[in-house]
Chain A
Amino acid sequence: MKKATLYTAAVAVAFLLSCARDEDNKPQEPAATHAELLLDSHLKWGSAPLETQTLLVSTGEDSLSLDYAGMYLTDFVLIQEDNTELPLSGQVILLKTGSEQAFSLGQVPIGTYKGVRFSVGSAALNTKQPIDYESGPLALQDPGMWWTWNSGYIFMRLDGWVDMDGDGVASDDNSPLTLHLGTNNFAMPVSSLETTSFVISADGHNTLHMNVDLRELLNGVDLATERVTHTGNNLPLANKIKTNVPSVFSAE
């Protein structure tokens, strides 16, 4: 009996030591080939950080306020130095007010890149359905980023108020601003943020900084008469905003 107990204790000690031994014997890790890329977005109105429920002035001198802004960024493609393209498949970001604006774009190959392009919404996004997600960007959101009546994601949504009487107040006693863009034919590509090249290294903080200036979105929009679109019910306004989308994004 005594012999058996001694044997058991020896085995136990061996077990307790085995963790450390595993660490010691771990094979040398190969050099990293990939590193995480972060996208740090900055929602802005002109050069200032965007604030909701604050009086803003458009480039057309209209006064307004925003309650919410949200948009899906997807179809990311990194453009390598030699112009080859590296799609980051499956990456979908919901950039919105009142929420974290830094996102992981996943592990990408180490190297030098000259640009990145993406799209605000895509037809592929609409092959997904929110009832399959309990959380994350593709789940049902509040405010909603999914049209129930026309199954599909709202690629871009701006809600707010326009100061129609010029009293310097744009709130719920004024005219609502409702800009909801979506449907399969309404993907809004952003061709490139290739102002400077960037390096993705194994040991660095690989972060792309991007300004998102929503004031640019309303260029040429007369808020006295153009305030509401659910895309299909006001295609001219939706198309005007779609045209403005590329100028909204710039590398910081």
Chain B
Amino acid sequence: MYRAYSQQNSPLLQPGKWLLAALVCIHALGCQRAGPLLSEPDTPQADEPYPFYQPENFPEATFPDDNRLTTSRVNLGKRLFFDPVLSRDGSISCGSCHLPEKAFTDGRQLSAGVAGRLGMRNAPSLVNMAFLPRFFNWDGGTPSLELQALVPLESHLEMDLPVHESVERLRADPDYVERFRMAYGTEPTVGSLTRALAAYTRTLVSADSRYDQYVRSGNQSHLTDAELRGMELFNNEKGDCFHCHGTDLFTSNGFHNTAITATIGDRGRGQITLNARDDGKFKVPSLRNVALTAPYMHNGSMATLEEVVRHYNRGGHAENPNKDPLMRPLNLSEQEIVDLVAFLNALTDEEFLERHRQDNQQP
């Protein structure tokens, strides 16, 4: 219980005890070992856990012990994600290539970084990252979302700003300094910057498409006849999509060479593992909201979903030296191609789009 000292009770007002207290302090300081005086470490202010949405038809999301989701961390990450201060010339933000209305892609074959420099691969969607335990980027070169954040920040072709300089810029902004202190108990640092960006990214959960409504209710009225036929094809050996795009995440998170070119240009996963058997393999992207994420493939070379389905129906380029064994002609009819595309369109999550429509409006 809190109790205020009255002046009469205060021992510090008795002259003899004042002298004693002062001498005790002098003694304590005089006996201290040489070396820097350490202050108490800062600790984050109490903060409410972020109300993370865990869909019942998804695997359980995982969060690093040192980056639990809190509201202040997510809000900080969201602010950083859409702030061009993190790019060399202040012209682009993470959100420039990951637009909420396009399910966090940008609609371009290759994204433009600072000074219009084109990247080497298509901007991937960022939805449902919280449910993937590892392998980020098309080649899986980064093992965590925290480390992944460094890639666009420092890449010469993207934001092109050494992360130390990003941190310095943030430290010069009193508003950011306060937000970082609130979220992580520290001034802006490399660790807290990357963790905040990862925290926000983990909240991009998309699981309320008409397909999900069908899965959860069992009510077929959520899907059209064409979509139901397409779903059947998707999940059987004839359509054979499910081997790589199975589960309700619509990705195995594995790597495959789908032979979209006759030769191996970009080594993809092979560049990371230095194993020739991985040449031309790229991470299987989730198909959630896929109708919004054109153009397709790691190099953005296919403009429409129909073009993609026809590519798989052909079995890819036969000449590709490292073509995945799963790639073979599917012999789909024209109607079956239409049905598959219809099903893929049913994976659009309007509620997700509405929820994040104004993420780029700073609070």
A residues at B contact (CB < 8 Å): 4-5, 8-9, 11-12, 15-16, 18-19, 22, 129-134, 139-140, 142, 144, 146-151, 183, 185, 231-233, 235
Some 20 contacts from A to B, beta carbons below 8 A apart, are: A8-B17, A8-B19, A9-B19, A15-B24, A15-B27, A19-B30, A129-B146, A129-B147, A131-B146, A131-B190, A140-B150, A140-B162, A142-B162, A148-B147, A148-B150, A149-B137, A149-B141, A151-B141, A185-B274, A232-B271
Q: Given contacts A148-B151, A232-B271, are A131 and B16 in contact (CB under 8 A)?
A: no
**Complex Cα gap A231–B274 (Å):** 9
Whether the pair A148, B154 counts as a contact (CB closer than 8 A) is: yes
CB-CB nearest in chain B for A139 = B190
- Chain B neighbourhood of A233, CB < 8 A: 271
Q: Given contacts A8-B17, A232-B274, are A144 and B154 in contact (CB under 8 A)?
A: yes
- Chain B neighbourhood of A129, CB < 8 A: 144, 146-147
Whether the pair B27, A140 counts as a contact (CB closer than 8 A) is: no
B1, chain A: closest CB distance, angstroms: 31
Say if the beta carbon of B59 comes within 8 Å of chain A. Answer: no
User: Which residues of chain B from 206 to 239 have any CB-CB distance to chain A below 8 Å in the complex?
Assistant: none
The secondary structure that dominates the A interface is helix
Whether the pair A151, B147 counts as a contact (CB closer than 8 A) is: yes
**Complex Cα gap A12–B21 (Å):** 9
Say if the beta carbon of B142 comes within 8 Å of chain A. Answer: yes
- Chain A neighbourhood of B141, CB < 8 A: 147, 149-151
B residues at A contact (CB < 8 Å): 15-17, 19-20, 23-24, 26-27, 30-31, 137, 139, 141-144, 146-147, 150-151, 153-155, 162-164, 189-191, 194-195, 267, 270-272, 274
- Chain B neighbourhood of A235, CB < 8 A: 274
Whether the pair A16, B164 counts as a contact (CB closer than 8 A) is: no
- Chain B neighbourhood of A5, CB < 8 A: 15-16
- Chain A neighbourhood of B23, CB < 8 A: 12, 15-16
- 8 Å CB contact of B31 from A8, A19, A150: A19
**Complex Cα gap A147–B142 (Å):** 10
CB-CB nearest in chain B for A129 = B147
The secondary structure that dominates the B interface is helix
- Chain A neighbourhood of B146, CB < 8 A: 129, 131
A129, chain B: closest CB distance, angstroms: 6
- Chain A neighbourhood of B144, CB < 8 A: 129, 151
A159, chain B: closest CB distance, angstroms: 14
A236, chain B: closest CB distance, angstroms: 12
CB-CB nearest in chain A for B192 = A131
Q: Given contacts A149-B137, A149-B141, are A134 and B189 in contact (CB under 8 A)?
A: yes
B246, chain A: closest CB distance, angstroms: 27
Whether the pair A8, B154 counts as a contact (CB closer than 8 A) is: no
B11, chain A: closest CB distance, angstroms: 12
B198, chain A: closest CB distance, angstroms: 10
B350, chain A: closest CB distance, angstroms: 34
**Complex Cα gap A11–B16 (Å):** 11
B121, chain A: closest CB distance, angstroms: 11
B341, chain A: closest CB distance, angstroms: 33
- Chain A neighbourhood of B162, CB < 8 A: 140, 142, 144
CB-CB nearest in chain A for B195 = A131
Whether the pair A16, B272 counts as a contact (CB closer than 8 A) is: no
- 8 Å CB contact of B142 from A12, A18, A151: A151
**Complex Cα gap A19–B33 (Å):** 12
- 8 Å CB contact of B191 from A9, A16, A131: A131
CB-CB nearest in chain A for B149 = A131
Whether the pair A18, B27 counts as a contact (CB closer than 8 A) is: yes
B306, chain A: closest CB distance, angstroms: 32
- Chain A neighbourhood of B147, CB < 8 A: 129, 131, 148, 151
A222, chain B: closest CB distance, angstroms: 23
- 8 Å CB contact of A142 from B17, B164, B189, B271: B164
- Chain A neighbourhood of B16, CB < 8 A: 4-5, 8
**Complex Cα gap A22–B153 (Å):** 56
**Complex Cα gap A134–B151 (Å):** 18
Whether the pair A140, B271 counts as a contact (CB closer than 8 A) is: no
CB-CB nearest in chain A for B198 = A131
- Chain B neighbourhood of A4, CB < 8 A: 16
A225, chain B: closest CB distance, angstroms: 21
- Chain B neighbourhood of A15, CB < 8 A: 23-24, 27
- Chain B neighbourhood of A16, CB < 8 A: 23, 26-27
- 8 Å CB contact of A11 from B20, B164, B270: B20
B96, chain A: closest CB distance, angstroms: 18
B286, chain A: closest CB distance, angstroms: 21
Interface centre among A18, A130, A183 (most CB of B within 10 A): A130
A133, chain B: closest CB distance, angstroms: 8
- 8 Å CB contact of A150 from B15, B30, B272: B272
**Complex Cα gap A148–B150 (Å):** 6
- Chain B neighbourhood of A132, CB < 8 A: 191
**Complex Cα gap A116–B203 (Å):** 50
Interface centre among A15, A148, A232 (most CB of B within 10 A): A148
Whether the pair B19, A140 counts as a contact (CB closer than 8 A) is: no
Whether the pair B27, A150 counts as a contact (CB closer than 8 A) is: no
**Complex Cα gap A129–B271 (Å):** 20
**Complex Cα gap A7–B166 (Å):** 61
B61, chain A: closest CB distance, angstroms: 21
CB-CB nearest in chain B for A4 = B16
**Complex Cα gap A19–B30 (Å):** 8
Given contacts A131-B191, A144-B154, A151-B147, list 20 more A-B pairs with CB under 8 A: A8-B20, A12-B23, A15-B24, A15-B27, A22-B31, A129-B147, A131-B194, A131-B195, A140-B162, A140-B163, A142-B162, A144-B162, A146-B150, A147-B141, A148-B150, A148-B155, A149-B137, A149-B155, A232-B271, A232-B272
